[in-house]
Structure formats: structure tokens, C-alpha cells
A and B are shown apart, each in its own frame.
Chain A
Amino acid sequence: MSTAEASAGPRKRRPKFSVSHYLDLILTLAHKEVKVRYKNNILGYIWSLANPLASALVFYFALQVIFRSSIPRYPLFLIIGLFSWQWFSNYLIGACNVFINNGSLIKKSVFPRSVLPVALNIQDAFHFVMSIPITICFMYFYDIPIGLSILGGLLFLIPAQFFLLLGIGLAISSINLFFRDMERILAITLNMMMYLSPVLFPIDQVPDPYKEWMKFNPMTPLIEAWRGVFLNNELQWGNIGLIYLYAAIALAFGTVVYRRLVHGFAEVI
């Protein structure tokens, strides 16, 4: 028996989940989430934009009107950072509970559990993409040329952010099942991280020793790269490379944690 265990694990069964079925599952689940989100209220699309736009308004008032910062086109500058940040924080908050919220599915049926965080990420990516037209409207308002680098952003930056988030999401969603305090820790971390990412200010204004430290925050190159795309019509390859590096690390870490814990999911939910 021990040899059988070594070769095929304690359970031998026909592989049930092919790649195409895995994709089917992901698409069905992501589709479901988007549908549910837009079904409950007619204003679904507007709600998904309301939060970052409201934050932008408040930060604009606090930092530009009261503190008189001199960043040009500050509202546009803000929403570029905030939309990307919104995807980041919304996804991680959702991912934290994605297995718990789908507990009945996990306890009662067999399917690759990783489809849940993947589908959730697709849903949040979808909302991010839907926010790009708003950014373009702001660009039009501030007379910024709308260049082809936006396509480059869609092509390179969205996958980078997707995989970065997926890696972190896999890890925290798995850990949260065994260590429910994860949720609180995440809330505090996200709160701090927002001010430690260049959402409200350009990285150039950070004084020197801290500036280098901030590069360890994966959101720093990401937000900087998005600003490059929208404000300067440029693709910052250095930053893009750095995000992919962080994404690879996050994915590797997330996969290891997930694979280690996945077999206990049904027991702890």
C-alpha cells in the first residue's frame, strides 16, 4: 500500500477536471458574480465607480485645496492610482473570504478549489477595465493626448496585476480558513499600504531613503506604470518588469501555500 501511496497518493481516481472544464468553471463562476453584482441594482456599474470617485474628491479637497499641493491635474492623477488600488484592495478583501463564502460548495462537491479566487479576480479585473473609460474621459477633459500606450497598458499591466493579486489572494484565502484573524490583519495592512503606495503622491516626492524602500511595495511600480501609460503615453519597462517579478514571487508563494492547505479546506469550513 505504501508504494501505491507514494506513486499515486492515497486516492486513485480518473482525472475528472480537464483544462477545458477548469476554464468552464472559472468563466461560469466569474460570469455569475458579475451578473449577481449587476442584477441587484440597476446602478451596479455606477456603484463600482462611486467609491474611488468619492475618495478622489475627498483627497482632492484635503490635499490640493487645503494643503495646496502642486501636483498638476491632481484629480486625474488621483483616479489613476485609486482605480488600480481599488482592484487591489477589493480583490484581497474579497479573496480573504472567498472560500468561506462558498463553504457549502466546498463541503459538498468536488472541484478544483482554486477556481474560486481566480473567478473572483476576473470579476474585479472586469470592473477595473470598466473604469478605464472614466479615466479616458478625465484625460479628454485635461487635454491629454489619448495614445496607443493605453493598449500596451491593457496588454501588459492588466495581466501583471492579475497574477500579482492572484498569488497573494491564493495565499491569504487559504490561510484565512485556518487562521481567521487573517481578515483583520489584512484590513490593517491594506489601510497602511494605501498611504505607503504612491496613490496620493508621485514617488518622486518621497524623500530619499524611503523612496528606495517603497519599491518593495508591489503597488509602487504598478501605479507608477499606470500613470506613465495615462499621463505620459509611455510604457515604463523597468517598472513593468519589476511587477512581473513580484507577480512571479507572489504566484509561487500563493501556489505553495494553497497546495499545502487545500486538502483540509472541507474540514475547517
Chain B
Amino acid sequence: MQGPHARTPRHSVSRDFELRSGEKQQVETAPIAIKFENVSKSYSDRTFLAGGLKNYALNGFSATKYRKSHLVLSNISFEIRRGTTVAFVGRNGVGKSTLLGLIAGIMRPDSGEITVDGRVSSLLELGAGFHPDLSGRENIELYGVVLGFSRSEVRRRVDSIIAFSELAEHIETPIRFYSSGMLARLGFAVVSQLDPEILLVDEVLAVGDFAFQAKCNDVIRQFRASGGTIVLVSHAAHNIIELCDEAFLIENHGIAASGDPREVMKRYEDRG
């Protein structure tokens, strides 16, 4: 069975702050990698002047009370421990990607507290930072630096990235000539070879040909085995059940179910 108890966490257990949490079982006391406390997030209709020119003239940039807003996540709390693989499931538009955006620090919550401990790399959209007119090699450097690595770090690993992507013969070609599968490979290669501590994956496992998908899954498994933390958003039940220690079902702005991925997926599928 694949539960949170299946693997020994990378870090040992007896630290002060962990002991304080009382009667938790030993294996669950790996340090917390991601913690949400009462996090709420809504999007405001911030097309400027939405509240009328007068309101902006009177209130300046802080005219929040005149904005309409849609609630996305309300009062969400959870903890993800280091070394676990966790999935968020739920219907489209329910706020899964918002959640990943919050973890990555791209957005700020309206209220509540988010603590993230570790270097986050996101596979939110493979190759988001790629420039079509630059070659694969130039894009590797660009993307790596944008992801938070120094130029020298990226340069040192550029060969292993190219090798992983299996695109060596096209690496000097501008990537506007790449197919979407090739782009995905390049993006995944950069992220996977720059060893993050926390990996956010947003439905990207479905790209690439079969062999490359298998390779991606291998990387994720290896990353997991070496103690990395993974947060996954996916609709593929077999991926979730196979890879994850825990799953969260998001519904109606909150967490509707959490725990064993098999059961959560069953509940999710039952509700259609």
C-alpha cells in the first residue's frame, strides 16, 4: 500500500518543534515543506476603472471596496510534509492552479498564512519562458535563470539537460521550429536537471510521446525517492493513485476530502 507511511522521510524526527506537536506518529514528523493556514484567495475584477472613474479619483489604487470579486479558495488549511507526494484534484476552475500559484509565490493570498520551506520549481507550464527565436541551448540558459538558478549553475548543467531532453541534434535550432512535444521535453529537462526541493506539476505529464512520458514518470519517482516534495495537479487517476501519498479533493472553495488517494479519487469520480 502506498500511504504516507510507506517511506521513511529523509530527515530525522526528534526536533524540538516537532515534539511539541504531541502525539503524532514518528514517521509523520518530517519537517513541513508547505503549510497553509486559513488561506483565502479571491480574484478581483481589476480591470481598472471598473468602479467608475469617480471612485478611482476619490480612492486611488486602494479602491478595493468598489471592486467585484470572485472567491476561489476560502479558508484552506493543510500541511505537506517534506518528502511526500501530494495531489490536488477537482473540476476545472475550482482553484487547483491558483493553489499551485500560491505555493509558488506567484500570487499572494488575501488572508491567511503560507509557509514554504525549500526551493520551488514549478512545471506549471512547460517552456513558459521560452523565446521562439532563440535556439534550444539559449532557451535553456534563459529558462534556468528565470527559474532561479545562476548563470554558471545553468551552464554547468547544460550538457546533462540536453542529454536528458534527447534533443541534441536540434539544440542549435530556433525553437519556433520545435513541435509542442519537443518544447515540453526541453522544459521538463531544464526543470528536472536543476534539482529543486519542491516540485509543482500542473497537468504536464500528459505531453510528449509515450517514451518521454515514461521518462517523466521515472524522474518524478526518482525525485520522490531522493526525498523531494511533489505537489501534483492532475486528472489522471492512475497517475495519482500510483504516485501519490495523499490526495486532496477541492470543491466549493474548500477541501472536500483528503487522505488516501484511492479513496479520494473514488469520491471525486463518484461525484462526476
Contacts and interface: CB of A to CB of B under 8 A. Distances in A.
Interface of A: 1, 4-5, 10-14, 16-17, 20-21, 24-25, 27-29, 32, 35-36, 39-40, 104-111, 178-180, 260-261, 263-264, 266-268
A10 B141 CA distance: 32
Interface stretch (B113-121, B211-219, B264-272): B113-121
Nearest to A176: B48
Contacts of B112: 1, 10
B201 to A, nearest CB: 12
B125 to A, nearest CB: 5
A260 B61 contact: yes
Contacts of A21: 145, 148, 150
Interface of B: 37-38, 43-44, 46-49, 61, 101, 104-109, 111-117, 119-120, 122, 124-125, 128-129, 131, 133-134, 138, 141-142, 145-148, 150-151, 174
B129 A104 contact: yes
B257 to A, nearest CB: 26
A40 B61 CA distance: 40
A142 B171 CA distance: 49
A24 B150 CA distance: 7
A268 B128 contact: no
| Interface class of chain A by DSSP | helix
A111 B148 contact: yes
Contacts of A5: 113
Most chain A CB within 10 A, of B111, B122, B129, is at: B129
Contacts of B116: 11, 13
Given A1-B37, A25-B146, A108 B128 contact: yes
A4 B112 CA distance: 10
